[in-house]
């Protein structure tokens, strides 16, 4: 009886003894991971130190101090045309890029959907127009298009001579389009609180109307009711907003409280949070890996993940405890934030939420231009905007068309067979399914559009690239500026990716 057992165990031992280290799957796997990581870190270290040596040998300064210095730059447009520091100038450029990308994404989507639907139309003329639009715009380089729009718009009459159809209210010239501007005034923030209350009320009204629709089947137009609620609050708010100036002192008290906090507090709280979240993640991970009967099987990768999570938390704690400057910066910015809010609410009781101004024309030197009173769309903005919107709309149109065609024919037949009209079938059956197909390539187009706005440099629109180039031409700090560009575009792209992926996961069809 014992003989076979002995034999079996000895065979087992023999097998485990016979495997040399370089053939042991577990050892090989760990060694590869560690070696690769070491190699990557070593390469990065080598490149960085080489670059540093070369730069210092050639006496090139890669410091970021230019961000704090006055840049002696004038920008053609933006939230601040005479920035006080290099950092401020770059910030204005970023805002201009974001403004262009945001407006471009919205309008390119709307136009692209129209183009895509028109190419599917039964109407011969509309279908042809859609085809011509797509084939023309996607086959001409975007840079050429932007320069074309810019040169066409530059043929408009000169500013100040013949300034548009409704003189004083609307100006169209070779400097762009300028219309009256409505801007927020001192009472705005108090009024915004009333509108916020209106939004909460609107949510409740919406719920009630939907409920009523489900009960009776009558058309209760919940969205119209909700919008109406907000509008009513907004109008009433114009008269009662001074009542909300009491928020100011409250914010001031919070600011004072924050200011009196000891520096150690954020350090302790954040360290505890880092450890807490790491521990919670590890616990959840272990629970996830445990089978229904409680058996826990961890692969080498799993161990690696757990070690990584724990190490990350410990590194965070180490950094926090050594770097007290970060902690005091947190406290100071929190204090500043609430002081700013306090300031916004401490408006005079008679302050209006809004004010409006007519466009003006100024002549600082030899040449006339629009002043800051009106809302101005410059030729540069218009050229880049038309460029990216038209160009991207051609691609989005094709994506929309493809997505709709990809919905199986049987779906449309089934929708007709149960009596849905063409419009109902489009709304409830075709578009929801097409949207799931369209979304990933649509996200790619958003990324492309955002990156393509950098072509603004061709027509002098003050986006981040144009401003950055001016800054490094004056300061010689090419590498730091390029690094800022790259980080900025990376942040934009990752944000768009995260949003698109979120919806992509949420809309996934449930399969078995």
Site residues (CB under 8 A) for other proteins?
213-217, 408, 410-411, 413-421, 424, 428-429, 432-433, 436, 509-512
Which CB, 416 or 497, lies closer to other proteins?
416
Instruction: Report the alpha-carbon distance of residue 462 to residue 449 in Å, rounded.
Output: 17
CB of residue 510 to other proteins, shortest distance in Å: 4
**184 or 412: whose CB is closer to other proteins?**
412
Alpha carbons 165 and 422: distance in angstroms, whole number = 44
CB of 512: closest distance to other proteins in angstroms? Answer: 5
Q: How far is the CB of 404 from other proteins (least distance, A)?
A: 14
| Minimum separation from the CB atom of position 433 to other proteins (A) | 6
Minimum CB–partner distance for residue 131 and other proteins (Å) = 25
* Beta carbon of residue 218, minimum distance to other proteins (angstroms, whole number): 8
**Pick 301 or 413: Cβ nearer other proteins:** 413
How many other C-beta atoms are found inside a 10 Å radius of the C-beta of residue 86? 28
Q: How far is the CB of 406 from other proteins (least distance, A)?
A: 13
Are the CB atoms for 346 and 245 separated by under 8 Å? yes
How buried is residue 65: exposed, middle or buried, by Cβ count under 10 Å (0-12/13-18/19+)? Answer: exposed
* Nearest-angstrom CA–CA distance, 392 and 133: 11
Q: How far apart are CA 326 and CA 338, in angstroms?
A: 19
CA dihedral over 286, 290, 296, 297, signed as positive or negative: negative
- CB nearer to other proteins: pick between 99 and 213: 213
| Biggest alpha carbon–alpha carbon distance for the chain | 113
Residues 6+ away with beta carbon under 8 Å from 321: 267, 271
Cβ neighbours of 13 (radius 10 Å): 10
For residue 289, which of 278, 303, 275, 277 has the smallest C-alpha distance? 303
Closest to other proteins by CB, 106 vs 414, is 414
Asked whether the beta carbons of 392 and 448 are under 8 A apart, the reply is yes
Nearer to other proteins by Cβ, of 81 and 416: the residue is: 416
Nearer to other proteins, 38 or 421 (CB): 421
């Amino acid at each position: 009886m014992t003989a076979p057992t002995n034999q079996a165990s000895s065979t087992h031992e023999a097998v485990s003894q016979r495997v040399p280290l370089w053939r042991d799957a577990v050892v090989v796997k760990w060694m590869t991971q560690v070696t690769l990581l070491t190699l990557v870190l070593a390469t990065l270290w080598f490149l960085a130190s080489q670059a540093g040596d070369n730069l210092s040998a050639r006496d090139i300064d890669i410091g970021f101090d230019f961000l704090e210095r006055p840049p002696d730059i004038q920008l053609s447009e933006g939230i601040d045309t005479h920035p006080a520091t290099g950092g401020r100038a770059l910030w204005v450029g970023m805002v201009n890029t974001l403004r262009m990308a945001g407006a471009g994404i919205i309008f390119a989507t709307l136009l692209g959907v129209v183009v895509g639907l028109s190419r599917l139309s039964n109407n011969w003329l509309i279908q042809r127009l859609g085809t011509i639009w797509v084939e023309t715009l996607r086959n001409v380089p975007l840079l050429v298009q932007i320069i074309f729009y810019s040169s066409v718009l530059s043929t408009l009459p000169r500013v100040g001579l013949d300034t548009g159809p409704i003189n004083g209210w609307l100006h169209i010239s070779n400097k762009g389009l300028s219309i009256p501007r409505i801007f927020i005034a001192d009472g705005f923030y108090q009024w915004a609180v009333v509108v916020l209350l209106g939004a909460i009320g609107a949510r409740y009204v919406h719920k009630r109307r939907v409920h009523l629709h489900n009960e009776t089947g009558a058309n209760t137009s919940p969205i119209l009711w909700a919008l109406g609620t907000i509008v009513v609050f907004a109008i009433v708010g114009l008269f009662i907003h001074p009542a909300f100036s009491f928020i100011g002192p409250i914010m001031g008290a919070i600011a004072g409280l924050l200011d009196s906090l000891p520096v150690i507090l954020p350090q302790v709280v954040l360290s505890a949070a880092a450890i807490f979240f790491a521990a919670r993640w590890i616990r959840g991970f272990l629970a996830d890996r445990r089978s229904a009967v409680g058996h826990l099987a961890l692969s080498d990768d799993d161990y690696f993940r757990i070690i990584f999570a724990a190490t990350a938390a410990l590194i965070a704690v180490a950094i926090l405890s050594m770097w007290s400057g970060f902690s005091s910066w947190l406290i100071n910015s929190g204090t500043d934030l609430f002081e700013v809010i306090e300031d916004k609410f401490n408006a005079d009781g008679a302050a209006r939420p809004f004010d409006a101004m007519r466009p003006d024309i100024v002549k600082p030197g030899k040449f006339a231009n629009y002043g800051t009173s009106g809302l101005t769309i410059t030729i540069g903005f218009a050229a880049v905007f038309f460029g990216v919107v038209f160009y991207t709309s051609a691609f989005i149109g094709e994506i929309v068309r493809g997505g709709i065609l990809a919905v199986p024919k049987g779906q449309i037949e089934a929708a007709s067979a149960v009596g849905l009209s063409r419009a109902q079938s489009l709304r409830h059956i075709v578009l929801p399914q097409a949207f799931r197909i369209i979304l990933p390539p649509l996200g790619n187009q958003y990324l492309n559009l955002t990156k393509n706005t950098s072509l603004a440099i061709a027509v002098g629109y003050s986006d981040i690239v144009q401003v950055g180039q001016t800054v490094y031409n004056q300061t010689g700090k090419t590498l730091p500026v390029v690094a800022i560009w790259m980080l900025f575009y990376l942040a934009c792209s990752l944000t768009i990716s995260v949003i698109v992926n979120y919806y992509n996961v949420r809309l996934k069809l449930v399969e078995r």
